[in-house]
Structure 1
């Protein structure tokens, strides 16, 4: 009998990726592979962290004609002595080990970097892994030290010489040749690079940032003495500004719940017309997808303006002002300092740290309340703008409601509807089970969140004819609740009857919950595909674990939530780095949504500022290919195809039984 592939699976089949191998095998897990900008940004961010720590006043970047890039600063220089535990020069460790750096001991007030761009610990080692060649020169303690790498490995070991007269006494210079094999395009996007470098100068008033492009002989230099205000004014150009408000705040030793130095600085400008500018940063790292610090700014602005409107009785009767009415005409630049920032993804495009909402709003709200009390006439002008936005939104919602009102069916009795009729804001949560539905009803924001509990697993509707769908009560209730009839992939559909802008699947974070997700996604893809194509379908991601952590230094006791085993491991690693002994924290696993209190469900899964709610789409494959894949997965006559899939990929899956 011949030996099959499965029979050859033995101890020798397990391969351990060492050093930088994981990055070179799967670069997309660690960085953006569209172009080399992100790996260059890792080097730039290190220089900016030196400036943030008050140790550097100048950053220079040179884009050479051969495609390589040099980044240098006048900071302290990376230490070049031997690491006490590893016995290897520290500068070599930084470029060759994924989890080596000076940014982990953040609770120590004397740490080298109290505030930096995160705790992923990959940094410039990823730059080195994806470079043909990388050279480092460090000036420190009277010595000039050199070393070089090729394909991530050391090819010129560290060697040093005394500094000569005229050479800079301190600083680090890195020159990197990105390896084109790992990127869709080897070219650096010049516009994005310019924006990135200018932002460093904006966020660090007094820092000089210089860029030289060898090919075109262009040189750009930025220095903003007035920081955020000067940058926002320059960016808005001729846009007429109604009012401008800036400020900053930082936690002190006695501030409850935050470490000294955590806080934010901001500049906000309100305008009645023209485009708006919105940029946010965490520890100098750009966050183009926003996050919880943006949510904190929005919350602080809204509460202060709402309070001003109520104090002066400016709102017409029956008009309710919402956060988007205040935020819709706001341009802002926000820079937050967070001791231990948690980002979404290795590219750190969105901040997920839940405490950042309270941190930023806690400084913005009182500052704006004070400003409005001192500038009452400007405050009234802002109130008029906000009220006009609210009235416009309300009129649009009423038009939609009149258009839908005459032919609407009787809503299902299990549906707990929301108060708002604003399609752009309304959300419907399809919740697994009455118990979880009860928690969701109590924990939701009844203004814009509706809940429809489902009884167990819905029907696999992939091969159910459209006219037989409503024989199933659950599917009937879903269709009536969302206000849309079933349709095909190529049908033209009038979405004006849609009652909710977001249809959110909310199920347990286990295998059964995943099965319910798949059955509901099958329903939407097969019978409501235009809902998917238009971006109205979402999947809520409740946590699987809760970690109860005791106080750590100035950090108070906290409840931390993890979506899966990977996030749980990351939380435990972080607690160890914070100095907690093993077992000082407790881990509990949620058996289901029904176990979560209304407050926990709101904080982790329903609150728009802190939840994770990925949007469902067809992805790169397109609708036809996605439909073919679902036929293999959900079709009754496709058992053999599913068996082949399980035989091929079964050993890659960790099954939670």
Structure 2
């Protein structure tokens, strides 16, 4: 076989927009379809908003308007406006922007002059309009290329910048925005920027107390052990309490950026809390007991932050400024003084914290024996674990496809077999349940170690000691679309919410959608996920197509299953809204409450025979 030719003609130089479109992952992380809160379409919105936030931080513009309808996004701020002569350069020339001048943007998020250009290149429509000192300039782009440059004209509009974009459907396949994810992003922006108002689809978002409001909004009074501690200093803000849940729950931010994967500042906070509390009580409490059930938010501002990727989800900076003190020392010194002072002034809070620590200590010692036995069994089982068909890549590594790593939790051998044969062995793993798992509502974490299936699942996910070692970015519950499948789905969600709520809050848990019907003729096959899609397929194919109703995942052949878990996979994220976990689980998984009985009665429906209904609709369409 001849060696490939490598000469001067082999060297290619791509235009900036072409490089972004060919390698979007370098700029916005994973693409996705909008079903995950870190999918690319949300990163596009965030990149535009970051510029508006930076204007607010510089004292220019206290309001941002966002309009989102289907695929069209409009962001209008009231800052200084892009200098009119540089409108095209600022959105289409790489490494161009005002943030290289450290006097203009001391502690900005977008330091690299890349974000807006990435949005431009990855949008089928991108329109930028700057309003500045009574004049305005508007330019239209498509896929990073100018399509129409409007002349500069006079205006009565307030200073600022308006950007409209449509993410390109050839890159973001079958995408859709989920309003809950956008709303969560907006809340974080206003919590971190007190005095800022964001109007999203005509709804107002505003915060007066910053991170205090963040924790109080997400945790009801009955869910926390003591009033929220709120501490503010120069370039640092902290809010913390302890809750009733298992695990640790953190929200960390750098220069207004939500660092979902933490980083040096979050690690410094976890270390500083332990050190400060040990010194206050003068007792060598175990670190895990101090941090058990902690709920905290920490925000710092750093000059020239170093993130581990362009998506800025993890801080890598070791120092506050290029020549400044370390992040670790900065956070530790702040908590050592401010948290210690707070505890001395609020003895009732100090007593509540110590009571929570002692409770965690008792619980840890209570399950220590069975935990050791269970872990020993899990280690032996992991060598030949029949429940887990693992993949090669893991989320807690530097693998280039780490964000694609997925664990399918299936019911029964037949469904597991179909997924196992059709999966991508590089990034997709399968965990098989033997039947209906235990309803663990109101049970203690001891059951996780006593129940072999739960213990093996915990070890497969690698979440016993927190999310830092999580093996899979996506945990997908894949059950049949019938009553039993729905029940198993509820039982698994109960397991995660009861013992690992931070897994759900961080957006890692999903429900797999699989087709209910296959409609086909000799020329074409269409898979349908709803009655509406089935009717549309029958209408499209005409005649009397063959219609198959899938009763369970095991009925779908491996070849077909590969179509549903590949690039066109449909996932429904499990989103935890403002309702408390305790009340949520009590309603759905507790004893048969009158409220739930009434809900069932009100929503009871009697369906016509499915097969007869399908055939009748097909005949009606054929006649028409």
- Please tell me the TM-score bracket, short chain as reference: 0.5 to 0.7
Alpha-carbon spacing, 1:173–1:22, altered in 2? closer, same or farther (3 Å): same
Q: Give the whole-Å Cα distance in 2 for the aligned partners of 1:487 and 1:201.
A: 48
Q: CA deviation at 1:369?
A: 0.6
Query: Are 1:236 and 1:277, in contact at CA under 8 Å, matched by a contact in 2?
Result: no
Aligned equivalent of 1:139: 131
Q: Give the whole-Å Cα distance in 2 for the aligned partners of 1:51 and 1:188.
A: 26
Alpha-carbon spacing, 1:359–1:97, altered in 2? closer, same or farther (3 Å): farther
Alpha-carbon spacing, 1:47–1:183, altered in 2? closer, same or farther (3 Å): same
Using structure 1 for the length normalisation, give the TM-score: 0.55
Q: Give the whole-Å Cα distance in 1 for the aligned partners of 2:110 and 2:48.
A: 14
Aligned equivalent of 1:293: 265
Q: Give the whole-Å Cα distance in 1 for the aligned partners of 2:183 and 2:97.
A: 27
For residues 169-568 of structure 1, the aligned pairs below 5 Å read 170-212=159-201, 219-241=202-224, 242-250=226-234, 263-272=235-244, 278-310=250-282, 320-355=284-319, 356-401=327-372, 403=373, 484=380, 487-488=383-384, 490=386, 534-535=460-461
Using structure 2 for the length normalisation, give the TM-score: 0.58
Matched position secondary structure for 1:243? coil
Q: CA deviation at 1:267?
A: 1.3
Q: Is 2:42 the partner of 1:37?
A: yes
Q: Give the whole-Å Cα distance in 2 for the aligned partners of 1:289 and 1:232.
A: 18
Aligned equivalent of 1:114: 106
Alpha-carbon spacing, 1:275–1:618, altered in 2? closer, same or farther (3 Å): closer
Count residues with an aligned counterpart: 399
Q: Give the whole-Å Cα distance in 2 for the aligned partners of 1:344 and 1:128.
A: 23
RMSD: 3.7
Q: CA deviation at 1:161?
A: 1.1
Q: Give the whole-Å Cα distance in 1 for the aligned partners of 2:112 and 2:458.
A: 33
The unaligned stretches of length 5 or more in structure 2 are 35-40, 320-326, 398-428, 430-455, 476-624
1:233-273 CA distance string (max 9 Å, x none): 222124343132111222xxxxxxxxxxxx31121122345
Matched position secondary structure for 1:30? helix
Aligned equivalent of 2:16: 19
Alpha-carbon spacing, 1:394–1:14, altered in 2? closer, same or farther (3 Å): same
Q: Give the whole-Å Cα distance in 2 for the aligned partners of 1:385 and 1:266.
A: 20
Aligned equivalent of 2:616: none
Q: Give the whole-Å Cα distance in 2 for the aligned partners of 1:276 and 1:160.
A: 54
Query: Are 1:103 and 1:119, in contact at CA under 8 Å, matched by a contact in 2?
Result: yes
Query: Are 1:59 and 1:208, in contact at CA under 8 Å, matched by a contact in 2?
Result: yes
Q: CA deviation at 1:288?
A: 1.6
The unaligned stretches of length 5 or more in structure 1 are 82-89, 213-218, 251-262, 405-422, 424-479, 494-501, 506-524, 538-607, 621-657
Query: Are 2:134 and 2:154, in contact at CA under 8 Å, matched by a contact in 1?
Result: yes
The partner residue of 2:94 within 95, 98, 104 is 98
Q: Give the whole-Å Cα distance in 2 for the aligned partners of 1:491 and 1:267.
A: 41
Q: Give the whole-Å Cα distance in 2 for the aligned partners of 1:271 and 1:618.
A: 25
Q: CA deviation at 1:276?
A: 7.2
1:402-454 CA distance string (max 9 Å, x none): x48xxxxxxxxxxxxxxxxxx7xxxxxxxxxxxxxxxxxxxxxxxxxxxxxxx
Matched position secondary structure for 1:534? helix
